[in-house]
Structure 1
């Protein structure tokens, strides 16, 4: 049995396989997942696991170069936007796009991690960096 880090085998595999520029999405339970994109479904019930808890775990293992969020998160879900930006910190730039453009970008990601989050626009695309 694995002692530390991500215990979900599918998520651990995807994180280990990421190369520079690859992307994954941490998503609420309502984001449509494009056909052909791997779905890592962690959702148990509304709110479990939360978007923020899932993002913390992923950020503990993934080198993130930059991120993308829907600009609609700011008026609709200010607390989650602030929590996300605080977790990403000032060294990870966040680009804001329309929600429609965000959904288009999800067509080219390696995987979507579906959480139980049930609040508006609780989604982020994380682009992999390198550790050297």
Structure 2
């Protein structure tokens, strides 16, 4: 164990975050997402929700400043009347860790799956909220 690292971040997830480079993407997938069939690398976070993982990750993870929206969400499928309340919670968490954050990139469902297939890794969670999938694009650390 190490000091200052949230217990929710497994050694495997810390390793993945460290190995990622500028522009690489990581997906935090809800419990309904086809993580295993999309992932090049999968990190199991069974029993955890995305909110706590996102907050813990963004303490260490720089978002890409070279793109307009480094955080992407799966948009609601046309005709589905779901109103994802978790998105506002995501907004508060991202803004807490990155004051320059303005808005999310909204990605159509099947385009989101295709991006997930190219992502550096997918973190499979037990998140129950619908449309809770989120992609983070890694930036650079500036000293």
What is the TM-score when the length of structure 1 is the normalising length? 0.86
**Unaligned stretches of 5+ in structure 2?**
65-69
Residues 88 and 111 from structure 1, CA distance in 2 versus in 1: closer, same or farther, beyond 3 angstroms?
same
Alignment match, 1:23:
25
Q: Counterparts of 1:2 and 1:81 in 2: how far apart (Å)?
A: 31
Equivalent pair of 1:77/1:119 in contact (CA under 8 Å): no
Alignment match, 2:67:
none
- Alignment counterpart, residue 108 of structure 1, candidates 118, 132, 135: 118
Q: Counterparts of 2:141 and 2:19 in 1: how far apart (Å)?
A: 14
Alignment match, 1:91:
100
**Higher strand content, 1 or 2:** 1
Residues 35 and 123 from structure 1, CA distance in 2 versus in 1: closer, same or farther, beyond 3 angstroms?
closer
Q: How many residues align?
A: 128
Report the CA distance between 1:118 and its aligned residue: 1.2
- Alignment counterpart, residue 68 of structure 1, candidates 52, 67, 72: 72
